[in-house]
A = this chain, B = another copy of it.
Amino acid sequence: MAGTLAVVGEKWSLLVLREAFLGVRRFADLQRNLGAPKAVLTDRLATLVEQGILHRVPYQAEGERQRHEYRLTPKGIDLYPTLVALMQWGDRYLAEDGVAPLALEHRGCGAPVHLALVCEDGHALAGAREVRPRPAAVSSR
* A5-B94 Cα distance, complex, nearest whole Å: 11
Contact (Cβ within 8 A) B81 A88? yes
- Does any Cβ of B come within 8 Å of A58's Cβ? no
Determine which of B90, B107, B134 lies in contact with A130 in the assembled complex, contact meaning CB atoms within 8 Å: B107
Q: Is the interface of A mostly helix, strand, loop or mixed?
A: mixed
Query: Which single residue of chain B is at the shortest CB-CB distance from A128?
Result: B80
Determine which of B15, B84, B103 lies in contact with A5 in the assembled complex, contact meaning CB atoms within 8 Å: B15
| Cβ–Cβ < 8 Å partners of A1 in chain B | 14-15, 18, 83, 86-87, 90
Contact (Cβ within 8 A) A131 B118? no
Give the size of the chain A interface in residues (CB under 8 angstroms).
Answer: 68
Given contacts A117-B84, A119-B111, A130-B107, contact A136 B99 (CB under 8 A): yes
Contact (Cβ within 8 A) B22 A133? yes
Contact (Cβ within 8 A) A123 B101? no
Q: Which residues of A are interface residues toward B (Cβ below 8 A)?
A: 1-5, 7, 9, 11, 14-15, 18, 21-22, 75, 77-90, 92-94, 99-109, 111-121, 123, 125, 127-137, 139, 141
29 contacts between A and B (CB under 8 A): A1-B14, A1-B87, A1-B90, A2-B90, A4-B89, A4-B94, A5-B15, A5-B86, A9-B14, A21-B128, A77-B127, A78-B89, A78-B92, A78-B93, A81-B81, A81-B89, A82-B82, A82-B86, A85-B85, A99-B136, A100-B136, A102-B134, A103-B134, A103-B136, A105-B134, A109-B119, A112-B119, A115-B115, A115-B118
